[in-house]
Structure 1
Amino acid sequence: MLSTLLSLSSLLVYPLSLCLMLGFLGMLVWRLGLRRTGATTVFGALLWLYVCSTASFSYLLIGKLEENYPSQPLSEIPRADAIVLLGGALRGDSAMGILPDLNQYADRLVHAVALYKAGKADYILLTGGSAPGARSEARLMQDVLAVMGVPPSALILEEESKNTHDNALNSAAILKQRDMQRILLVSSAFHMRRADALFKRQGLDVIPAPTDYQQVIIASTLPAGIPGVKNLSRTTEALHEFVGYEVYRMRGWL
């Protein structure tokens, strides 16, 4: 019950869902005769949605998550027993394509392969489950990494995980069975704070190997105050991480 309530409450901080909820509440209050309160509520909801849709605010939030996990040249990254690649870089099997469809976090796949080809570990553990009736994320990542030149003998699959906590728990069990302790953990930089803590909680020697940095160098052609869908998505992702970390902490997973 607690986990369900925490998951539902986390949706309330997402800008779009919160704006819709407050907008509906404001109109209801307006209909009840409290027009100033209703108008203020609707205005506040739209203002928050606008702020969350700007580049300056989205980069501010995502930057707070990324700043403690700077990138390193491959030459400076130490060797490990295995590279652990978290899921989240694929949308799934496409209706008409041959390979799984990649999403905006596909840098994770590229970085894991780069580490492997640089000789930083002999194995890559792919961790990620699936919805009923679908192929697991681990299996989908295996298909993509095969095209990128990683041999099947170097891949270890963990196909039962539903979230990052499961990734850590299930991966640790597999790694310990193989007497592997030191890992290079590959995920998006904004996600690394939570992932790093979860895998360390399992007693593993974790070397963060962040990638997929969201702050780009090339300036936008639009002013920072112009709202955009990508900015809103970036803000939502950052808020998801902040809330997710606190939810996991309240559950005792961190």
Structure 2
Amino acid sequence: MPSMSSLLTSLVVPLNLSITVLVIAVVLGLLRCRRAAALLFVGAIGWSLAWSLPGTSLWLGGALERNYPYLPAQQMPVADAIVVLGGHTANSRANWFEAYDPKTARPRIDRAAELYKAGRAGKVVLSGGALEGQVSEAQGMAHGLRQLGVPDSALILENSSRTTYENAALTLQTLQDHDIRTVLLVTSALHMPRAMAAFRKQGIAVVAAPNVPQIVPPQNPPLPRWWPDMRTMDASRSIIKEYVGLMVYRLRGWV
């Protein structure tokens, strides 16, 4: 069953909300509520237009990414373990505004492998349940980390969580079971504010170790900030998800 934040996010995704509101506007127009219909029509078009502008993502998404600045692995403190959260943002692509390129993609496990090889921690806790089928996200990440040279003996899997709240709550039990007291938390820069708040709420001693920021202006070629771009609007779901998620988590007392 979808979570409250998932339902709200689906509703306010630019195209979804705009289509819904436009249908309501048409119905109101047929009922001769023309002023209300006109306001809804303008609002629906404005919502999608705003999220199609790179400037909107740079402003609102960038505000989230800047909460916890990226630092090279060697500059991070030493902890008992590295915790990696399942999921991805904008297909892990290097730049939010560019097409996905597997050669430049930056999965979260790459960051975890760098931290491990830099000696920042001797254990890597992978958190994420199965979204479809029988293979959990934790198992998938473990496979990727083995290929990156992280030994199986260093990996600890949490295979049940499906949300950021569950990542924190179930990881807490895993950490306690293995006498792990301090952790470096790896997730996307965009997701880090909600993830850090959830882990701190559980009383975990956590330091943010975000992946490299994705919401940065491309240089070749430069992208006009105030010109509509379909890829930007498609990716905006991730930004909206974080703001809705923070709102829902605060209402539920999870952060």
Please indicate the TM-score interval, normalised by the length of the shorter structure.
0.7 to 0.9
Unmatched segments (≥5 aa) in structure 2: 92-101
Shift of 1:105: 7.5
Which amino acid in the other structure matches residue 185 of structure 1?
L
Shift of 1:58: 1.1
Q: Which residue of the partner structure matches residue 124 of structure 1? A: 124
RMSD over aligned Cα, in angstroms? 2.3
User: CA deviation digits over 1:132-189, x for unaligned, max 9?
Assistant: 5331000111111111111111111110001011111111101111110100000111
User: CA deviation digits over 1:46-65, x for unaligned, max 9?
Assistant: 12201111101111111110
Q: Which residue of the partner structure matches residue 236 of structure 1? A: 237
Shift of 1:108: 1.2
Evaluate the alpha carbon distance shift between residue 222 and residue 134 of structure 1 in structure 2; reply closer, same or farther with a 3 A threshold: same
Which amino acid in the other structure matches residue 157 of structure 1?
L
Q: Which residue of the partner structure matches residue 171 of structure 2? A: 171
Distance of 1:132 and 1:76 partners within structure 2: 37
Query: Is the CA contact 2:70–2:212 (under 8 Å) kept in the aligned structure 1?
Result: no
Distance of 2:114 and 2:144 partners within structure 1: 14
Q: How many residues align?
A: 242
Distance of 1:124 and 1:200 partners within structure 2: 19
User: CA deviation digits over 1:63-119, x for unaligned, max 9?
Assistant: 11011211113222111100000000398xxxxxxxxxx8x9843111111001101
**SS, match of residue 167 in structure 1:** helix
Q: Which residue of the partner structure matches residue 65 of structure 2? A: 66
- The structure with higher relative contact order (CA 8 Å, sep 6+) is 2
Unmatched segments (≥5 aa) in structure 1: 92-101
Q: How does 1:18-97 map to 2 (within 5 A)?
A: 18-89=17-88
Evaluate the alpha carbon distance shift between residue 86 and residue 133 of structure 1 in structure 2; reply closer, same or farther with a 3 A threshold: same
Distance of 2:51 and 2:118 partners within structure 1: 39
Alignment pair present for 1:205 and 2:198: no
Distance of 1:17 and 1:245 partners within structure 2: 21
State the identity %.
39
Which amino acid in the other structure matches residue 242 of structure 2?
E
Alignment pair present for 1:17 and 2:16: yes
Distance of 1:89 and 1:242 partners within structure 2: 16
Please give the TM-score of this superposition, normalised by the length of structure 2: 0.86
Distance of 1:39 and 1:65 partners within structure 2: 33
Q: Which residue of the partner structure matches residue 133 of structure 1? A: 133
Which amino acid in the other structure matches residue 140 of structure 2?
L
Distance of 1:218 and 1:57 partners within structure 2: 15
Shift of 1:6: 5.9
